[in-house]
Chain A
Amino acid sequence: MSASSTAASGQDAVAATVSPERQRFGRLLIRASTLLLGLIILAEILYSSGVISFGFPNWQPVLIAFVLWSAALCWGLILRDGEAGWRALFVLPAILFTLALVIFPTLFGFFIAFSDWNLQSATGRQFNGLDNLRQLWADPYFWNALGNMVFYVLTVLVQYAIAFGLAMLLNADIKAQKFFRVAFLLPFMLSPVAVSWMIGKSMLEYRFGPVTNLLRALGWENPSLLTTPWLAKTTIALMDAWVWIPFMMIMILAGLQALSKDVQEAARVDGATGWQGFWQITFPLMLPVSLTTIVLRVIFQLKLADIVINTTSGGPGGATDTISSFIFREYKDRSNVGYGTMIAEVYLIIIIIFVALLLWATSRFMQRHS
């Protein structure tokens, strides 16, 4: 990896200031460390496949070698490229870190995905071609979880509407604005696991939870919130909304506060009613912020797992399952690494396509309206 300044004159000037010896040493350092890393990886592979009899008990040396190689690469670049090397040093650590921890595991995941691998069985990993894919195609629980994801993603629109309303309230000329803002923000900061217990297991407890008590008092005879499939799904969506509405609210509030005072005055005075002023002035002006907020929120929603795992574990009968919680159980209950990874990788591809389409549609929409 080399980085250079695009200021054309700068690059020549920089190259001239680095002495040839330093350059040679830098090059040597990079090559030598790459060779060392390659050798250690090769030795590990040979040892673990039984070709050579001496080696390390685990792969940790490879990790250490990678860290050393990264350091040598950074140092070598500085020696070789001078100023440009110092500049590359800003981004290089983060890039190497991400490559090692995201790109490599994801590719490794594809390798696992095409194998029959149960961590509890003695047979270990066995390549099984497209079997996992076939199993996935015929797995009703996967399609059910995917369907649930569509439902959960659509609830984002409802959350958005509520969040917009709350942001408007906070943006109104009110007293103790700071208190309300902090109070409204707090649910977002709480651990989903704690929320699952606080609300899911305790306040919604069938016999004596305060929410079920309230619902009974309102005349609902049998508030079985987490055992009726469609109700359970709605309840999970509500808990999720409770946590995430503050996030959207804060974003929209910042957007509202960035609107100029004139515009806000116009929205109040011009229209016959506040309602009209809102739809004709405020809402259109807020479209860019709204779209950013919704897109971000949808991306986070696709990861929904913790609340489901801890409140219903996907039940009753998979009614509340998300892809993440489904895979979590696939591993925790059955140690089925191969199949679980296949679902995850397929899900990743679906997400990438979906988010790409979403971003494309949003930018098209924005262009047409600006």
Chain B
Amino acid sequence: MPRTLNRILIYTALIVWTIIALFPIFWTFSTTFKVAKDVQLGHIIPWVDFKPAWLGLRAIGLSPDTIFTESTPRTEFIKRFWNSIQASIGASILALILGSAAAYGLSRFQYKWKIWKNRDISFFFLSQLILPPVVLAMPFLVLYKELALLDSMIGLILIYTLSVLPIVIWIMKDQFDTIPQELEQAALVDGCSIWGAFFRIILPIAMPGMVAAFILSVILCWNEYFFAALLTSSYAKTLPVMVASQTGSQGISWWSMAALSSAAILPLIIIGIFLERYIVKGLTTGSVK
């Protein structure tokens, strides 16, 4: 009897938290299809409480009746969406290239420059994690202005790369440490160069770690708001900045906000459902030994 009771309690708790975790997401998606009356009456369940309408998608030009016509909001939305993709993918690739190489070097070789050794270099990279974005925000604003990088994609990609680089190095170093050194020593004996061994032998084995690092970087960059809000204006503005700029205090059109928010979270939800394994791997790196 207590065992059954125990199980009931466990499943109740699980279901309660599932509702807490998923309801806001459901609410956002469903609000996309509500008209003003449904929002104000607090209707929740589609087809039962309210009849779904295309209002939200029409507002960004993606409903069935507007998708083949000219639409300024849609052009704007697609531009921001594409900017977000460019910034997050570009920064993740750059961080992965710089970070994997650095992590491999730190994992395999002993460096020494004056009093600096491997430990210090690793610490140097990881210590960037504690640096809050605000510290860099204003110097970057001024410097980017002088360098003509303000409101440019390259500027945004550089700073995003910087913010995910420590995480990539952390994940990749952990990954390389688990690969036995004998593997590339055998390759070196066969006449492979160290870079040849790195590309041909080690990288293919380290693929799971690279995927984990890449996905985590994409998520972090996709969601980044602080730098994008400060450093971009008309050209390189990303999706989160667009979502944030729509929130006027008066007369919000709920359905279009919901549609935009849905668009901002949908790619990540898809990633979350299908690549959860890699996200978990990336997050738990190095913490559990």
Min CB–CB distance A42 → chain B (angstroms)? 16
Measured between beta carbons, the chain A residues less than 8 angstroms from B143 are 59, 105, 108
Interchain CB contact under 8 A, B24 and A203: yes
Contacts of B17 in A (CB 8 A): 166, 169, 184
Q: Which residues of B contact A251 (CB under 8 A)?
A: 283-284, 287-288
A94 touches which of B44, B99, B239 (Cβ 8 Å): B99
Q: Determine whether A337 belongs to the interface, using a CB cutoff of 8 Å to chain B.
A: yes
Q: How far is the CA of A355 from the CA of B127 in the complex (A)?
A: 10
Partner pick for B223 among A166, A190, A348, CB 8 A cutoff: A190
B273 within 8 A of A: yes
Identify B125's interface contact among A98, A184, A195, CB under 8 A: A98
| Chain A positions within 8 Å of B289 at CB level | 258
Contact residues in B for A83 (Cβ distance below 8 Å): 194
Determine the distance from Cα of A302 to Cα of B225 in the docked complex, in whole angstroms.
16
* B40:A207 contact, CB within 8 angstroms: yes
Among residues 39 to 54 in chain B, which have CB atoms less than 8 Å away from a CB atom of chain A? 39-42, 44
**Are the CB atoms of A90 and B102 closer together than 8 Å?**
yes
Say yes or no: is B247 at the interface (Cβ < 8 Å to chain A). Answer: yes
Q: Given the known inter-chain contacts A108-B139, A198-B28, A199-B24, please indicate yes or no for A94 contacting B272, CB distance below 8 A.
A: no
Nearest to A299 among chain B residues (CB) is B130
Residue pair A186, B146 in contact (C-beta under 8 Å): no
> Is B148 on the interface with A (CB-CB < 8 A)?
yes
B33 interface residue per 8 A CB criterion: no
Does B1 touch A at the CB level, under 8 Å? no
Question: How distant is the Cα of A181 from the Cα of B257 in the complex, in angstroms?
Answer: 28
Could you tell me if A97 and B138 are in contact, using CB atoms closer than 8 angstroms?
A: no
Q: Is A39 an interface residue (CB 8 A)?
A: no
Contact A306 B24 (CB under 8 A): no
Min CB–CB distance B253 → chain A (angstroms)? 12
Question: Quick check: B287 and A255 within 8 Å, CB to CB?
Answer: yes
A161 at the interface (CB under 8 A from B): no
Q: Which of B22, B219, B261 has the most CB of A within 10 A?
A: B261
Residues 206-247 of chain A, each 1 if its beta carbon lies under 8 Å from chain B, else 0: 011110010000000000000000000000000000100011
B271 and A189 contacting across the interface, CB-CB below 8 Å: yes
Asked if B162 CB lies within 8 Å of chain A CBs, one says yes
- Interchain CB contact under 8 A, B110 and A351: no
Question: Which residues does chain B contribute within 8 Å of A296, judged by CB atoms?
Answer: 287
User: How far, in whole Å, are A112 and B284 apart by their CA atoms in the complex?
Assistant: 39
Which B residues are in CB contact (< 8 Å) with A59?
A: 143, 146-148
Cβ of B243 within 8 Å of any chain A Cβ, yes or no, is: yes
Task: Please give, as numbers and ranges, the residues of chain B lying within 8 Å of A186 by CB-CB distance.
Answer: 21-22, 25, 269, 272
Query: Does the CB pair A98–B226 fall under 8 Å?
Result: no
**Majority SS of interface residues in chain A?**
helix
Closest beta carbon of chain A to B148's beta carbon, Å: 5
A323 and B162 form a contact (CB under 8 A): no
Chain A residues closer than 8 Å to B27, beta-carbon distance = 198, 202-203, 210
Q: Closest A-chain residue to B136, C-beta based? A: A105
A93-B98, A169-B13 known; A58 vs B146 contact (CB < 8 Å): yes
Q: Which of B17, B134, B247, B258 has the most CB of A within 10 A?
A: B134
Contact A348 B135 (CB under 8 A): yes
Instruction: Say which one of A3-11, A21-29, A275-283 lies at the interface with B.
Output: A3-11
Report the minimal beta-carbon distance from B96 to chain A, rounded to whole angstroms. 11
Chain B min CB distance to A240 (Å): 14
CA distance A97 to B96 in the complex (A): 13
**Contact of A197 with B by CB under 8 A:** yes
Knowing A106-B139, A210-B42, the reply to whether A306 touches B226 (Cβ < 8 A) is yes
* A293-348 contacts to B (CB < 8 Å): 293, 296, 299, 302-303, 305-306, 309-310, 323-324, 327-328, 331, 337, 340-341, 344-345, 347-348
**Cβ–Cβ < 8 Å partners of A310 in chain B:** 225, 244, 247
- Which of B101, B133, B146 contacts A303, CB < 8 Å? B133
CA gap between A136 and B230 in the complex, in Å: 22
B208 on interface, CB distance cutoff 8 Å:
no
Complex formed: what's the CA distance from A254 to B105 in Å? Answer: 28
- A158 at the B interface (CB under 8 A): no
Residue numbers of B with Cβ under 8 A of A are 10-11, 13-14, 17-18, 20-25, 27-28, 31, 39-42, 44, 98-99, 101-102, 104-106, 109-113, 121, 124-125, 128-143, 146-149, 158-159, 161-162, 165, 169, 193-195, 198, 219, 222-223, 225-226, 229-230, 239-241, 243-244, 247, 252, 254, 257-258, 261, 264-265, 268-269, 271-273, 276, 279-280, 283-284, 287-289
Query: 18 extra interchain contacts, Cβ-Cβ under 8 A, other than A254-B280, A258-B288, A306-B226?
Result: A5-B109, A60-B147, A63-B147, A87-B105, A94-B125, A97-B161, A170-B14, A189-B223, A190-B269, A197-B257, A210-B23, A210-B42, A242-B24, A299-B129, A302-B132, A310-B247, A327-B137, A344-B135
Nearest 5 CB-CB pairs, A to B?
A90-B105, A94-B102, A254-B284, A105-B139, A191-B223
A-B contact pairs, 19 of them (CB 8 A): A60-B148, A87-B105, A94-B102, A105-B139, A112-B142, A169-B10, A178-B276, A194-B240, A198-B24, A201-B247, A202-B254, A207-B40, A208-B42, A251-B283, A292-B287, A305-B226, A309-B225, A324-B134, A331-B230
